[in-house]
Amino acid sequence: MRAEKSSFWHIGIIGGSGLTAGIELEEAQEISVSSPFGAASGPVTTGRLGGVRFTFIARHGAGHAIPPSSVNYRANIDVLNRCGVTDVLALSAIGSLREEMAPGHMVMVDQFIDRTTSREGSFFGTGLVAHVSLADPVCPRLSAVAGAAAEAAGAKVHPAGCYLAMEGPQFSTRAESRMYRAWGADVIGMTGMPEARLAREAELPYAMLGMVTDYDAWREEEAGVEVSHVLEVMHANARVARDTLRKLAANLPPERAPSPIDRALDHAVITAPGARDPGVVARLDAVACRLFGTRD
Ligand SMILES: CSC[C@H]1O[C@H](OP(=O)(O)O)[C@H](O)[C@@H]1O
Ligand SMILES: Nc1ncnc2[nH]cnc12
């Protein structure tokens, strides 16, 4: 049983729109990893940047064939966990709900409002019930070091922002966009939830580096959001994304001190041992390996 995480950083990268082709890693190896939660978006690529191990998965699969509602978020997190990642950094295209968060800027998302409706949102369920805390869904340590790396790569970085996760795949109406602004959301996307909540259940510190690609529909002077425009901005910023990961690798301290999120499940499972479904427990061998696992 793997009782504790490695004391060396191993960063899982979830690459979103415009990043399906992956990131450049040294000694890169592609591996297909199976999960009891079904098929992940594709194989992972694992390798190094300097002294740090990174494992990458393309959220929307090769060639961006998987829409936001059909991404198997559970399998993606489970597979990264099986690869031994210690932390997860998501790279996402986001629309802006604030004038000051302009296209081309980066936002270190620190809060979420979840408006998704049709996605598997938990690894737990009937036969094994757990309630993790999600008050602070993002790991402040990982977010700070990734934000500093993006700044060092030349990006304008906003250190905090609330992400409205919508179901999609259509972009918002102007009325919805105005309502999300009134709710206090700063940016919008279609994938940050349930990804962030699942990472927490898997005891993986999670951060999201959002790249602003457009002003969402609230801004009357803008035409509606166009996917071609989103991808154009993403491609223009691909170098910054790559440089950010290199700077991140260079800036991480050599050893990884434990995070409280590594123990997020400590008081979360509520089902009495005698009432637990062994089948449900068995498929959590990676997610909850500290509690029930058998892998090394
Ligand atoms: C290509 S525009 C809409 C699409 O872009 C974002 O994806 P990701 O978060 O994976 O970068 C957004 O959430 C939508 O899925
Ligand atoms: N305006 C927007 N709405 C939802 N998802 C997005 N991804 C990039 N821009 C977006």
Residue 5 included in any domain: no
- Checking if the pLDDT of 20 tops 60, the result is yes
Residue 79 CA to residue 7 CA, distance in Å, equals 20
Comparing 36-40, 165-169, 179-183, 220-224, the range with the smallest average pLDDT is 220-224
Residue 213 included in any domain: yes
- Sign of the torsion formed by the C-alpha atoms of 167, 171, 175 and 177: positive
Instruction: Write the residue with the smallest CA distance to atom 7 of ligand 2.
Output: 94
Residue 106 included in any domain: yes
Torsion of CA 284, 285, 287, 289, to 10 degrees: 130
- Checking if the pLDDT of 91 tops 50, the result is yes
* ipTM entry: 0.99
191 is an annotated ligand-binding site residue:
yes
Residue 143 included in any domain: yes
Q: What angle is formed at CA 239 by the lines to CA 235 and CA 244, rounded to 5 degrees?
A: 125
Residue 162 included in any domain: yes
CB 128 within 8 A of CB 292: no
Closest ligand to C-alpha of residue 213 is 2
Instruction: Give the pLDDT band of residue 296 (cuts 50, 70, 90).
Output: very low
Residue 2 included in any domain: no
CB 198 within 8 A of CB 73: yes
- Is 91 touching ligand 1 by the criterion CB < 6 Å? no
Quick: pLDDT tens for 218-267: 998 878 778 888 888 888 888 899 899 999 999 999 899 999 999 999 99
- The domain total for the chain is 1
Among 14, 260, 214, smallest CA distance to 104 is for 214
CB 181 within 8 A of CB 100: no
Q: Which residue has the tokens 């970085």?
A: 157
Cis, peptide link before residue 140, omega less than 30° from 0 = no
Tell me the catalytic residues: 214, 216
For position 259, which CATH number holds? 3.40.50.1580
Residue 180 included in any domain: yes
CB 128 within 8 A of CB 281: yes
Domain that includes residue 142, residue range: 10-292
